[in-house]
């Protein structure tokens, strides 16, 4: 599967706050490359798209991804502390509805 970091996620990672997290994030992305969607906890499914998360215990953050099962592309869309989990999941679920209407590349590019 192809893995794509969306532009807004790339910008977020450039912030000083997240520099110490880069190693953990890239380990999770490598795991995604190796295991594909089986390494992701599925949170929602709409049409051909899945919303999922990968967990990190140290630091206690979540990597959020949207999977296009038809095109076999995984979009890494956010990295957030577990305390903000409910807020970010509801935000991404709303975004997933937009994705179905407009297509992923139009939303994230």
- What CATH number does residue 16 fall under? 3.30.2310.20
Q: What is the pTM of this model?
A: 0.83
Count Cα neighbours of 44 within 13 Å in the Cβ-side half-sphere.
Answer: 16
Is the pLDDT at 26 greater than 60, yes or no? yes
101 pLDDT tier (thresholds 50, 70, 90): low
User: Region 15-40: what's the mean pLDDT?
Assistant: 91
What does the pLDDT average to over 22-29?
Answer: 92
- Cα separation, 36 vs 15, in Å, equals 27
3-state secondary structure of 60: coil
Q: Number of structural domains, the chain?
A: 1
Domain assignment of residue 14, given as a range: 2-108
Q: What is the pLDDT of residue 42?
A: 94
């Amino acid at each position: 599967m192809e893995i794509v970091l969306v532009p807004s996620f790339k910008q977020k990672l450039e912030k000083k706050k997240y520099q110490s997290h880069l190693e953990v994030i890239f380990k999770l992305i490598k795991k995604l490359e190796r295991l594909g969607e089986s390494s992701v906890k599925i949170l929602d499914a709409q049409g051909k798209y899945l919303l999922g998360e990968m967990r990190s215990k140290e630091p206690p953050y979540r990597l959020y991804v949207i999977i296009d099962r038809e095109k076999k592309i995984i979009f890494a869309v956010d990295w957030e502390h577990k305390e903000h989990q409910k807020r970010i999941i509801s935000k991404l679920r709303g975004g997933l509805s937009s994705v179905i209407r407009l297509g992923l590349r139009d939303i994230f590019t």
